[in-house]
A = this chain, B = another copy of it.
């Protein structure tokens, strides 16, 4: 092959020559549009301080649980992928495992980064581990590979981070105030650890929250006031959304007295599992109420069994590759919330899923009626080429193109952002090209739609 996989102009496009030709033309329409990333996990401080990335392993392997999980599955203990194992040793483990990534989304993004960001043209293997480590390390030491320079090279216009409600947001403020930085780095309000009573730090978090932000209020009322105040603080610092990583999509409207009683019981350490579920569900209702008031887009990410393997959690902590999805049901779960806020003015509620079955069965029908509801882009294990095509096929015939969120990269791997958005654009072009080839939409209209899906949708849905 004359082209490498990573730079082939037709990568991810459909094989049928006629459809591919349409897809190429559609892709051309959006390939150079700026990146809008309304939800992800990059650390704002890294951009503000423009800290050089330390080494290839710390940049590309250790923090990415998509990557470490598959190496672990092949029999490499997680110890060998921890920072203390040493960057070069980790990189060797990764390179030896590289063939496992064929056909995976992570493999696709990594391959693209190696070549497009770091200029590494060779294959990765145990044999080339040291050479590739050195080559990428050399690049990382160059001034052009600092976060702010990459931010510009990557053509990122908006990058949302995910932040603790009590975060000072100093980095965000500094970036906003810096005339030399032209991107927008926006905080996102993520109160899980203040809402989920099962979180080990819940009680301490709530104490701090009330102490710092309740305007002197106490108990449940003080708690709500403090959440409202911190949301306002986020809004003042440019936040456009509040994100909720909940176990299930359940929502529940409790009256003031019931909610207060649950809250007090939980602070006394007496909440049962059912109490915790009820309180979390009720707080989703409250978060929607606050979103209606302060305008923050509400996003919900349910359905992952966190820290599935207890021994791994105890040894290595959370986010180490063993969060496993399970079946969810949205239709009954979000009804209490939608009864009161489903048609509220300017309320935006973006529903994500790791359970593909709800796309056609529940999310497209919900978003095809409620003005507030948007279908979250395929997330986590599903933001991959085939899965994204299945998503479009599952939702479009019911909800059209106007009711989905636009691509969400949801990543902490900063250098993968362009590869992820590029892959998404190729898949949108592929899907639309098929509809054109099947005479379901006109080619002219497809050219409008791809711009809408790639660029206008995230701006509209996330109020950017």
> Which A residues have a C-beta under 8 Å from some C-beta of B?
1, 3, 5, 8, 10-19, 69-70, 72-75, 99-105, 107-108, 305, 308-312, 321-327, 329, 331-332, 335, 338-339, 342-343, 354-357, 360-362, 364-371, 373, 381-382, 384-387, 390, 393-394, 396-403, 434-435, 437-443, 445, 449
Residues of B close to A397: CB separation below 8 A = 103-105, 381, 384-387
Nearest CB of chain B from residue A377's CB, rounded to whole Å: 15
Instruction: From known contacts A325-B331, A331-B308, infer whether A104 and B73 are also in contact, taking CB-CB under 8 Å.
Output: no
Q: Is the CB of A324 within 8 A of B107?
A: no
Q: Is the CB of B441 within 8 A of A400?
A: no
21 A-B pairs whose Cβ atoms sit less than 8 Å apart in the complex = A5-B441, A12-B439, A14-B438, A15-B19, A69-B368, A69-B369, A70-B368, A73-B371, A103-B441, A103-B449, A309-B343, A309-B369, A311-B339, A312-B343, A322-B370, A324-B369, A325-B331, A327-B357, A356-B361, A386-B393, A386-B397
Residues of B close to A16: CB separation below 8 A = 15-16
- Which chain B residue lies CB-closest to A452? B99
Contact partner of A305 (CB less than 8 A), chosen from B5, B312, B326, B332, is B332
Question: CA–CA, A390 to B392, complex, Å?
Answer: 13
Residues of B close to A387: CB separation below 8 A = 360, 397
Instruction: From known contacts A11-B438, A321-B369, A438-B13, infer whether A102 and B308 are also in contact, taking CB-CB under 8 Å.
Output: no
Q: Is the CB of A325 within 8 A of B382?
A: no
Nearest CB of chain B from residue A120's CB, rounded to whole Å: 16
Q: Is the CB of B331 within 8 A of A329?
A: no
Residues of B close to A403: CB separation below 8 A = 73
Q: Is the CB of A360 within 8 A of B331?
A: no
Most buried by B among A19, A102, A108, A449: A102
Count of identical protomers in the assembly? 3
Most buried by B among A1, A365, A403: A365
Question: CA–CA, A308 to B330, complex, Å?
Answer: 12
Residues of B close to A19: CB separation below 8 A = 15
Instruction: From known contacts A5-B442, A331-B308, infer whether A72 and B104 are also in contact, taking CB-CB under 8 Å.
Output: no
Q: Is the CB of A102 within 8 A of B449?
A: yes
Question: CA–CA, A403 to B312, complex, Å?
Answer: 20
Question: CA–CA, A1 to B444, complex, Å?
Answer: 10
Instruction: From known contacts A309-B369, A324-B365, infer whether A382 and B360 are also in contact, taking CB-CB under 8 Å.
Output: yes
Question: CA–CA, A107 to B398, complex, Å?
Answer: 10
Question: CA–CA, A443 to B322, complex, Å?
Answer: 32
Q: Is the CB of B11 within 8 A of A440?
A: yes
Q: Is the CB of B103 within 8 A of A326?
A: no
Question: CA–CA, A48 to B15, complex, Å?
Answer: 49
